[in-house]
Structure 1
Amino acid sequence: KIRRKRPELRIIISSATIDAEDFLEYFNSNADGDDRSQDDAIILSLEGRTFPVQTAYLETPSPNYVEAAVQAVFDIHMKEPKGDILVFLTGREEIEECCQEIADRSLTLPNMAPRILPLPLHAGLPTEDQQVVFEPAGRDTRKVIVATNIAEASVTIEGIVYVVDCGHVKIKTYNPRTGMDVLTVTPCSVASANQRSGRAGRTQPGKSYRLFPQSAITSGLMPPTTPPELVRSDISLFILQLKALGVDNVLRFDWMDSPPSEMMIRAMEFLYSLKAIDDSGRLTKPLGTSMAEVPVDPMMAAILLNSHNFKCGEEILTIAAMTSVQNVFVFGEGAAGAMGEIERRKFTAEEGDHLTLLNAYNAFVRYGRQSPKWCASHKLNYKALLRAVSIRKQLGKYLERFNIPVESCEGDAKRLRKCLVTGYFKNAARMLPDGTYRSVRENALLHVHPSSVLFTRTPSTSWVIYHEVIETTKSFIRDLTVIEQDWLVESAPHYYTFRGGKFKPE
């Protein structure tokens, strides 16, 4: 629709793994025509210089691909010529387990054998630790980089000749019935597997060792491409943006991949509860139209736009920025992890994670903005905090454009927490006697995530709001703040009421 009004507009979609033919068919207005000269979309491939890669498969699936990866690393190390190894696993825990096992087994290598140096690579590593993987190994030393899919396309590491691929990926899928993001390990796509293999042929001919049988591809066990985020995520923000573009009936919108209808319904209900849309499904003014512009999730957008009512815009801008970045605090294993927790206590607020993030940001701006060493000594992620500074500045410009005054609550934690409830009211839970929580809306059993400051603390009240819930082995809530029960009815009387002396969602 936009291109019809602006024929001079050119749209470029870039990716290393997408199915280009599907995008061509969707964006080409002449897709059904016979005259290809009338096409207004093309595929342009920019092939980098690559070398041939030999691919080997297991005959049968491995019951433990982490152990199989370790064995493959040592088989390569003892039998193949020099060249570094890149191992693909699904997450931090597997990576740390694999690196430790490689380090332990390397002690049994013959004295004359080259050394082997395992190095982790995942998004949770501080910048200085990530940089180590790009540095040349010492003499007679083979690097083994154990990584998540961050190494598929985001980075290029010189010297990789061998790839070991577990054939799996950790993927987040939204469950509209429970409102939870489910984090599961699942077979990766064929496109991802090919992308991983290609990392072995960047500088010379290489080899790819796939820890799964070839039948996993031919039988369809591995999907051709990764399911698009649109069909497995909370789409509230997408719907807001479509409505801001003038698409009132999102149910009839020509999606490239249509989201499940239940996901659409839950998103509309949620936006209505935030007062972003009215009874007719149209954006409210000015709240809904402003929320559609702010580049954060709808809950945090509502909190930002309500901050002037609580005179805490300065603090909310910081919290919004800090919840937009990941891995602010650096935690390792063993003694390093204990030290990380000790350092975090210097910033910990008894009210919970949001105020702890606020304290860490303020300390960074005051002492560490120009000092990566200060961040390293306090176990803070320097790169993540710099990103938070940039995001905060960007969000501040939106409030300025909306003529929303930005004031400080001057340390009034109560005002700040009440403001957080204006967006997070849906994500409310009550603590049970055993220390677990029960969500108010879905009545789901929840556990505090180990990364939360409330994991080892007893809060002053039994009620909390939380930023998100992730289901892995259990349903974990992250980024918690302690609240009072009556604040929920006060902030969202349309959503919660007291009936017969009991607290119930509408």
Structure 2
Amino acid sequence: MLGLLKKIRRKRPSLRIIISSATLDATYFLEYFTAGNSPDEATIISLEGRMYPVEVAYLQEPSPDYVRKAAEVVWNIHLQQSPGDILVFLTGREEIDRCLEELTEYIPTLPRNAPRLRLLALHAGLTTDEQLAVFEPAERSTRKVIVSTNIAEASVTIEGIKYVVDSGFVKIRTYNPTSTLSSLATVSTSLSSAIQRAGRAGRTSAGICYRLYPESALSSLPQTTPPEITRTDLTTPILQLKSLGVDDLMKFEWVTGPPAETVLRALENLVAAGMVGEDGRLTVTGEKVAECPVEVNIARMLFMSSEYNCGEEMLTIAAMTAIQDVFVIPDGAAGALAELERRKFTAEEGDHLTLLNAYNAFTRYGRSSSWCKSHALSFRAMSRAVSIRSQLKKYMQRFGLPLMSCEGDAKRLRQCLVSGYWRNGARWVADGTYRSVRGNVALHVHPNSVLFTRKPRSGWVVFHEMEETKKTQIRILTEIEPDWLLEYGHTFRDKHTGASVSHV
């Protein structure tokens, strides 16, 4: 976007561009916009906000379990420190839920005269009301504890925070151009993020930031989080650039140049998908796909649905994979009951068809919040899926793609899935894990998958995405036949000789 704006400003000097950020490396961007232009092309304007002093405390040694340590620190703050709300930074929903569980176990030991604790989560998978609850002032003799992802780092400001507990970690999306697989990885925060997190304790009064790592670790932190363009799959961005007339990627003025291998793999994928021709220009299909507000693999499935007569189902699957936390499975006895409700939607072929079943049931039985609650579904997520599906339907109608139903033919539907997920194939191995068809990476099924404890009949699956924590997990899986992958450049190889074979 900024590269295009810089190009436009050369032809339209009256255009004014304002870039605002609390954590931006302003000097870097100043040098980018003045390079090849007049020194007066850009300037830096700083607006210093009022900050109260923040004391920073560190651990003496790294903690082997920073989630449990975060709960311990919160509990000690509550028992020993003066009034003021507490904000905890963790990496995702699973860690947040575990931290809240740990704190819940402490509550029965709370001294009788001590203030009460109000425990709150903040992450993207919550309903709007649940997210807004963190902004409500704490009641008298009550301290709020908000356990959040990095959404609270700069996106929102919560009044009353006096104490911050910083785990020192964040979850970011990364891309391996060799295996062509994207994943979510938990990594150390950058120094600028650490400073931003600590600043949350000094918005309304002097505060304290507890960093769950030694002070010596600061020297090993990167100054800033690596730019997304250096760690993401560029298939969709390059498709969009080409649709805007940028065919010579070597001459394009990137703010930060992407790795050459990532660009090469993106172009290879676009050619293999039939969206870029041998001349390097967009094909007719590529021009249409570039207009769709979804990833290239999802758009390809929508376009291929005309061949498999499953446009209605693919629209739903595209919408459902665009949202997170469809099923609401709490802990304890309530979680066991919720799991029984989820099984009512389970399709033996895998998660994509399970999501399809959940959506169809939601739209068939009234789209109500109460119905969702009794069937372990998130009303907010399902409503969002309805909205996304409606938007995508307009694109399909615009491009003349037939909205036909496969009438329950799971085979056609799964073949259509392979047309978009051909890079995300994996085969089952005897220890219960999978190996990716590209790179032979060891993969573990995410516990939320309906295939978590089941071996697919064919031994092969495609998956929607990967996530890296202590191990590499794959989410949203569907069983496929391995022969279907052969249409997209894959070959079978003899495991002993490595030679290509025509069948298995």
Q: TM-score by structure 1 length?
A: 0.89
Offset of 1:45 from its aligned partner? Answer: 4.9
Contact 2:180 2:423 in 1 (8 A): no
Are residue 167 (structure 1) and residue 168 (structure 2) matched?
A: yes
Letter in 1 for 2:23: T
Partner of 2:57: 57
Offset of 1:466 from its aligned partner? Answer: 1.6
Offset of 1:240 from its aligned partner? Answer: 0.9
More deviation in 60-69 or 112-121? 60-69
Offset of 1:456 from its aligned partner? Answer: 2.8
Offset of 1:299 from its aligned partner? Answer: 0.8
Runs of 4+ with >6 A deviation = 497-500
Are residue 19 (structure 1) and residue 18 (structure 2) matched?
A: no
Partner of 1:335: 333
CA distance in 1, matches of 2:190, 2:366: 42
Counterparts in 2 of 1:70-469, with a 5 A limit?
Answer: 70-217=71-218, 219=219, 221-284=220-283, 286-369=284-367, 371-469=368-466
C-alpha change, 1:67 and 1:328, in structure 2 (3 Å) is closer
List per-residue Cα deviations over 1:389-433 (Å, max 9, x = no partner).
222122222222222232222222222222112111222222234
CA distance in 1, matches of 2:75, 2:37: 51
Contact 1:25 1:31 in 2 (8 A): no
C-alpha change, 1:51 and 1:16, in structure 2 (3 Å) is closer
Offset of 1:128 from its aligned partner? Answer: 4.6
CA distance in 2, matches of 1:257, 1:17: 17
C-alpha change, 1:412 and 1:386, in structure 2 (3 Å) is same
C-alpha change, 1:320 and 1:122, in structure 2 (3 Å) is same
Offset of 1:85 from its aligned partner? Answer: 0.7
Contact 1:465 1:481 in 2 (8 A): yes
List per-residue Cα deviations over 1:428-471 (Å, max 9, x = no partner).
22223443323333333322221111113343432222212333
C-alpha change, 1:318 and 1:194, in structure 2 (3 Å) is same
More deviation in 192-201 or 121-130? 121-130
Contact 2:165 2:212 in 1 (8 A): yes
Contact 1:248 1:282 in 2 (8 A): yes
What SS does the aligned partner of 1:86 have?
strand
C-alpha change, 1:381 and 1:70, in structure 2 (3 Å) is same
List per-residue Cα deviations over 1:200-220 (Å, max 9, x = no partner).
233333332333344444x2x
List per-residue Cα deviations over 1:230-274 (Å, max 9, x = no partner).
101111111111111222222342211111122222222222221
Partner of 2:496: none
Letter in 1 for 2:228: E
C-alpha change, 1:271 and 1:337, in structure 2 (3 Å) is farther
C-alpha change, 1:331 and 1:396, in structure 2 (3 Å) is same
What SS does the aligned partner of 1:465 have?
strand
Letter in 2 for 1:343: E
CA distance in 1, matches of 2:80, 2:492: 69
CA distance in 1, matches of 2:419, 2:265: 19
CA distance in 2, matches of 1:9, 1:314: 43
CA distance in 2, matches of 1:59, 1:460: 50
Offset of 1:502 from its aligned partner? Answer: 4.3
Identical-residue share of aligned pairs (%): 57
Partner of 2:471: 474
In angstroms, what is the RMSD of aligned CA positions? 2.6
C-alpha change, 1:340 and 1:503, in structure 2 (3 Å) is farther
Contact 1:53 1:208 in 2 (8 A): no
List per-residue Cα deviations over 1:286-308 (Å, max 9, x = no partner).
11111222121111111111211
List per-residue Cα deviations over 1:62-95 (Å, max 9, x = no partner).
3243344334323322333211111112233332
Contact 1:231 1:259 in 2 (8 A): yes
CA distance in 2, matches of 1:442, 1:372: 44
Letter in 1 for 2:321: T
Contact 1:273 1:495 in 2 (8 A): no
Contact 2:51 2:202 in 1 (8 A): yes
CA distance in 2, matches of 1:303, 1:231: 27
C-alpha change, 1:106 and 1:456, in structure 2 (3 Å) is same
Letter in 2 for 1:262: E
Letter in 2 for 1:13: I
Offset of 1:30 from its aligned partner? Answer: 6.8
CA distance in 1, matches of 2:310, 2:148: 41
Contact 2:56 2:198 in 1 (8 A): no
What SS does the aligned partner of 1:466 have?
strand
Q: TM-score by structure 2 length?
A: 0.89
List per-residue Cα deviations over 1:177-210 (Å, max 9, x = no partner).
2233344332212221222222223333333233
Offset of 1:5 from its aligned partner? Answer: 3.6
Q: Which runs of 5+ in 2 are unaligned?
A: 1-6, 494-498
Number of residue pairs aligned between Structure 1 and Structure 2: 492
What SS does the aligned partner of 1:383 have?
helix
C-alpha change, 1:29 and 1:257, in structure 2 (3 Å) is closer
Contact 1:127 1:381 in 2 (8 A): no
CA distance in 1, matches of 2:270, 2:26: 33
CA distance in 2, matches of 1:182, 1:409: 31
Contact 2:191 2:222 in 1 (8 A): yes
